[in-house]
Every structure is written in structure tokens, then in C-alpha cells.
Amino acid sequence: QSALAQPASVSGSPGQSITISCTGTSGDVGGYDYVSWYRHHPGEAPTFLLYEVKNRPSGVSDRFSGSKSGNTASLTISGLRAEDEAEYYCSSYTNKYTVIFGGGTKLTVL
Amino acid sequence: EPQVVESGGGLVQAGGSLRLSCAASGFTVRGLWTHWARQVPGLGLAWVSRIDSDGSSASYADSVKGRFTVSRDSATSMVYLQLNSLRVEDTAVYYCTSGSFSHLDVWGQGTTVTVSS
């Protein structure tokens, strides 16, 4: 099964907002509200940002928000900060009782 | 503080086997799933496998199905990932995570598996 489709890179200036898309199929993103998002700084363990499309675990800033329309989910980061520069991944539950990740998006804060 | 710690990575020849271990602390694993994910050098994260809290349900990515087996020791709450028939393309950092059936919440630092030809 191919990875969910994410843009390879996005960029923004401090204080701006950016959105990262995550496109799948009706067998994963489109079929379930079980989309999650993760942030990964190189050399560190990934961190969990959102679950079930738009829910934030405790401790995650409200600068991170999520949405979904059809087969595409989105992560929006508002008020960009230098520390947001990282790789971002989406994931989705699938109709094969598995989980699938997106290909990852490198966020550059200009 | 909740955390998971992986161990068991190493260097192995193609066709060989390894067993990775995952220990959770700082939280109860009852009702939680344990997932394994990996990151091949230079590439993105990939989901590998998951197992439920009592070890009765497991699933695998197509790329490892039939070669990898996930298990749980209910007495110790340790989770294991048995890697058999290893291929060069299985070289990666393997992460253990705890979460729900669909999301990966608490991540470990990872353990490195290197498969040589």
C-alpha cells in the first residue's frame, strides 16, 4: 500500500500560518475519522500532535489544528515559530486493520 | 512520565533474525495498543505492526507480513517484535509506541537494525 500523499516541503515566516495536506483514499483517510499527525525533529523521537482529525492531546499547543474533507486531511500551524521547523507526518487507520503514514513534509521556517 | 524504551537492535546478515523488545513505564498499558514503526535512513516513517493490550489481535504492513511477528508478555507487559528473513531494505530505526488502535502516542527513542548483504 502506498504512503499517503503529502507535499515534500512547505515554508513560512515566523508568525505566519501554514497548512500541510494529506491525501489518501476512501479506504483510509476518506473512510475514517482516524487521522493523526506527528512532528519529527531529526535525531529525536517523533511527537504526537493530533488524533481523530482534530483532537489535541494534552500539552499540545492550540496553534496546531486539523481538518478533513473527503480523502484529504490537513494540518494547520498558526503563529509559526523557529522550533516548528521539522518533518511532519500524517497517518490514518485503514480498511485493512492497519495504519499508514504519509510520506512526510519538511517545514522550513524562513 | 510515560515512556517506552526499545532494545535489541543490531547488525545482522541478510536472511538472519533479531528480536526487538519494548518496555513501557510510567503508565498502565491496559487498554492500550502497542505499535512498531520504522524509518529507513533518508526516508519517512513507515508503520510496521500493532498488537492490542491483551495480545489477542495483531496486524502487519504488507512489507513485513509473514516475516515479522509481534507478541506481548502479559505478565511483564513487554512487547516483542521478532524479525525473521531480514532483508537489506529492513535496515531502519525501529520505534515502539503506545497508543490507541489508530494512533501512536508515546514514542521511544528507537533502536537501530542494520541488515548487511
What would the pLDDT profile of B36-56 be if each residue is shown by its tens digit?
999 998 999 999 999 998 888
Would the CB atoms of B45 and A99 count as touching at under 8 Å?
A: no
Beta partners for residue A39, in sequence order = A47, A88
For the residues B66-74, what does the mean pLDDT come to?
94
Is residue B47 within 8 angstroms of chain A, CB to CB?
Answer: yes
Which pLDDT belongs to residue B74? 81
Looking at residue A3, the DSSP 8-state letter turns out to be P
Which pLDDT belongs to residue B1? 80
Optimal mutation site among B51, B62, B100, B102, interface A, most CBs of chain A within 10 A: B102
Beta partners for residue A1, in sequence order = none
The alpha carbon dihedral of A97, A98, A103, A105 has a sign of positive
Would the CB atoms of B100 and A51 count as touching at under 8 Å?
A: yes
pLDDT band per the 50, 70, 90 thresholds, residue B24: confident
Question: B68-106 burial string, b = 16+ CB within 10 Å, else e?
Answer: bbbebeeeebebbbebeebeeebbbbbbbbbbbebbbbb
Q: Which residue has the higher pLDDT, A105 or A1?
A: A105
CB count in 10 Å sphere of residue B57: 12
Residues in chain A: 110
- A81: three-class secondary structure by DSSP: coil
- A83: three-class secondary structure by DSSP: helix
Output helix, strand, coil percentages for chain B, rounded to the nearest 5.
5, 55, 45
Which pLDDT belongs to residue B25? 81
Cell of A50: 493530533
Is residue A40 within 8 angstroms of chain B, CB to CB?
Answer: yes
**pLDDT of B66 higher than 80:** yes
Strands (E), A17-104: 18-23, 35-40, 47-50, 64-69, 72-77, 86-93, 99-101
For the residues B81-95, what does the mean pLDDT come to?
97
